[in-house]
Amino acid sequence: MTIEIEWQDYDVIVVGSGGAGAQAARAAAEAGARVLSVSKDPIGASDTKISEGIATVRGSGADDDTEEVLSENLKMAGGDLPVRAITDAFAKDSESAYDRFRVQGLRPTIKEDDSGPEARPLPFGGHNRRRSVGHKNSGIAFGHANWNAVVQGKRVDYLEDAWFLDLATEDVSNGSGPKKRIVGGLVYDAARGVLIAVRAPSVVIAAGGLATLYFPKTDTMRGNTGDSYAVAARAGADLVDMEQVQFLPFCLASPPAYEGLCAGEPVMASYLGVLRDKNGKVILDSVFLRTRAECAAAIMRAVEDGRGSPNGGAYLDMTANKELPLSGPYFQRFVETVLPSSFNNARLALGKKAAKIEESWEVRPGAHYCMGGIRADANGASAGGLGDGDVAHGIAGLFTAGGAMGGVFGANRLGSTSLTEAGVFGTRSGEAAATHARESKSEIKDAAFQPLIDQVNKRFGQKGTLAAATLKLELQKEAWTNIGPMRTAEKLDRMDQLIAECVAKLDEVAIPAYGMWNQAYIEFEELRNLLDCAKTVAAAARERDGSLGGHVRYDKKNISAFSKPYSTVVRLNDDGWQVARLERDRTPMKRLISYKMRETKQKMQLKWLRMLPKGVQDKKLLARYQAIMGKGAVEEISAPEMSTGSAEAAIGESTRA
């Protein structure tokens, strides 16, 4: 079948309409570009909209929160894998990016002196300063602002229910400069059943992550099928740190309707919460001081050893907090309000006793975020070669932002940073893409699109006996087992074999011969993208042969924080998939030692607290809760009225003990 082709011309194509895509489209338009926003979901309906709605705003809660302090915090938390120029850009622009959201309709709580948004009372999610700003309507507030960014104003056209299939590129001869340049992209407009060949010198890839590779063990939107990474890789772009997938440790394992939904964060466990295996043995204490990666690894190691819960997880036991007569009621209020939506998930899925913390919760890790992504410089421009910001060896005209962009977080992402990342690098990439389009003088030749068009026409009406949806389910199951929270060399071998088998079956997938909303074809394209993403994760995981951050090798030791850091780089060229290492700069030893000593001190303080007699322990915890929540909090403050910031601050007091 030959599907109808339309030709359109724009300065900038933006792929994705979530936080980063919306900000990129608006920034490019404000810089004078004519923009096309392409989204397979409704405009603004993304992970941004279903988030907790907490954003990092430097200086919102501490006078000594300098750009250098925030940049270093990001880099050290990420195992020294983040690019310093990129973390510097994040720190520099966090305030202005947040103000752009406010212009588009975001409404935070403002300080009494009108000096700016109100930050949470204490540092949040690994930050070393108060700089996390919450919002009453959570991610919905950001979703509406993003919708406004796309549909309001001039020079932005948008397509919904449209799949961006591939980048159109041309080879260029430019000495030591780029070897390829962007000339546009091919879009499947499912709503009308046509292909659109869009000529454009600049493309911003901002189509989110890959967590659907692990469905149903994920809390993200189901459209996260790795489109960003696959499209960029097929065009020849570098991907960095693709092994670094972040798994939330406390997602629901049952019932099926709630599987994968988030039930809480480590902080929710409070002072006395622990993780237990199926035999009741403690597999991790001091839970609320642990990272997501530490908790997820502890759960999956127990599962790997045959000590997992019935649904492949472990038990989050918070009952010791609730049993104390004086502080127990305050803990109950805290756990209900620290992450209200997560608690509500647990209450509905696990029942009344669990909601009253009278029994443990069965939890299991779920895929949440990919810290890796398209290799780029601080303006989101495609980068390559040996230098972190060496755009000369990237693809000219290719830009990225948001969850699609690598080099920002490395091995670990601090809480509340993803929304800010979307604003910072969405704006930067949009502006840079508009500048590139304005300065581009080369004529775009339609011949660059023909191989892509031919490939699509070959698929419509393809005869076969297999369904892409069925192959996708098989891939998702094996991805969780082999490249999920627990990896080994043997598992990576099995994953590579399965990927090869699935790729070989693509020609056997049946696709009907009609254009309008061809679901079989949509499933086929998303399967193709998921296979490419699985390959990049497996290749990077093999190269990173020890545990670091979100990457856990069950058959290897942890990589020391004092080792020379390196990023993994995966690329697809004429010789197939290639992987290499890219050295990163290490934080000075003195700073690393200080960072580790602080972590150790906090854990020792908590161990001391847990060893005290119950009566003394109860009084100390009561004082800590009341210091933040107020002495009458339990009697006077109902769950909806109490701010999540105040609740979480109570638990954070332990770091000051």
Percent of the chain with pLDDT over 70: 93
Query: In the predicted model, is pLDDT for residue 28 greater than 80?
Result: yes
Query: In the predicted model, is pLDDT for residue 218 greater than 60?
Result: yes
Q: What is the pLDDT of residue 599?
A: 80
pLDDT band at 633 (very low <50, low <70, confident <90, very high): low
* Per-domain boundaries in the chain: 5-244+369-442, 257-367+594-656, 463-583
The full DSSP string for 330-370 is HHHHHHHHSSHHHHHHHHHHH-HHHHTTSS-EEEEEEEEEE
pLDDT band at 655 (very low <50, low <70, confident <90, very high): very low
Give the whole-angstrom CA distance, residue 126 versus residue 56: 12
Give the whole-angstrom CA distance, residue 654 versus residue 270: 10
pLDDT band at 606 (very low <50, low <70, confident <90, very high): confident
Yes or no: say if 385 and 55 are a contact pair by the CB < 8 Å rule: no
Phi, psi of 577 (to 5 degrees): -75, 130
Q: What is the mean pLDDT of residues 239-262?
A: 95
Query: ω into residue 255 within 30 of 0, thus cis?
Result: yes
Across-strand partners of 627? none
> In terms of pLDDT, which residue wins out, 372 or 598?
372
Q: What is the pLDDT of residue 656?
A: 30
- pLDDT tens-digit profile of 180-212? 999 999 999 999 999 999 999 999 999 999 999
Q: What is the mean pLDDT of residues 376-385?
A: 92
Give the whole-angstrom CA distance, residue 389 versus residue 619: 54
> Under 8 Å CB-to-CB from 410, ≥6 apart: which residues?
75, 78, 79, 80, 81, 82, 241, 244, 371, 549, 567
Q: What is the pLDDT of residue 49?
A: 86
Give the whole-angstrom CA distance, residue 402 versus residue 182: 20
Q: What is the mean pLDDT of residues 291-304?
A: 90
Which residue type does 417 have? T
Query: In the predicted model, is pLDDT for residue 648 greater than 60?
Result: no
3-class state of residue 265 by DSSP: coil
To the nearest whole number, what is the mean pLDDT of the chain?
A: 90
Phi, psi of 87 (to 5 degrees): -65, -30
Query: In the predicted model, is pLDDT for residue 482 greater than 50?
Result: yes
Yes or no: say if 201 and 437 are a contact pair by the CB < 8 Å rule: yes
**Among 494, 571, 517, 599, which residue's Cα sits nearest to residue 240?**
571
SS (H, E, C) 524-583: HHHHHHHHHHHHHHHHHHHHCCCEECCECECCCCECCCCCCCEEEEEEEECCEEEEEEEE
Residues composing the chain: 657
- pLDDT tens-digit profile of 307-343? 999 999 999 999 999 999 999 999 999 898 777 888 9
- pLDDT tens-digit profile of 559-586? 988 899 999 999 998 889 999 999 998 8
CA distances in angstroms from 28 to 11, 162, 203, 216, 433, listed in the order given: 9, 20, 11, 36, 7
Answer yes or no: CATH 3.50.50.60 is held by domain 5-244+369-442. yes
What's the number of CA atoms in the CB half-sphere (13 Å) around residue 178? 20
The CATH class that applies to domain 463-583 reads mainly alpha
Query: In the predicted model, is pLDDT for residue 520 greater than 60?
Result: yes
Query: In the predicted model, is pLDDT for residue 426 greater than 70?
Result: yes
pLDDT band at 292 (very low <50, low <70, confident <90, very high): confident
> In terms of pLDDT, which residue wins out, 411 or 176?
411
Query: In the predicted model, is pLDDT for residue 62 greater than 80?
Result: yes
Query: In the predicted model, is pLDDT for residue 121 greater than 70?
Result: no
- pLDDT tens-digit profile of 133-167? 888 888 888 999 999 999 988 999 999 999 999 99
Q: At what angle do helices 67-77 and 84-103 cross, to 10 degrees?
A: 120
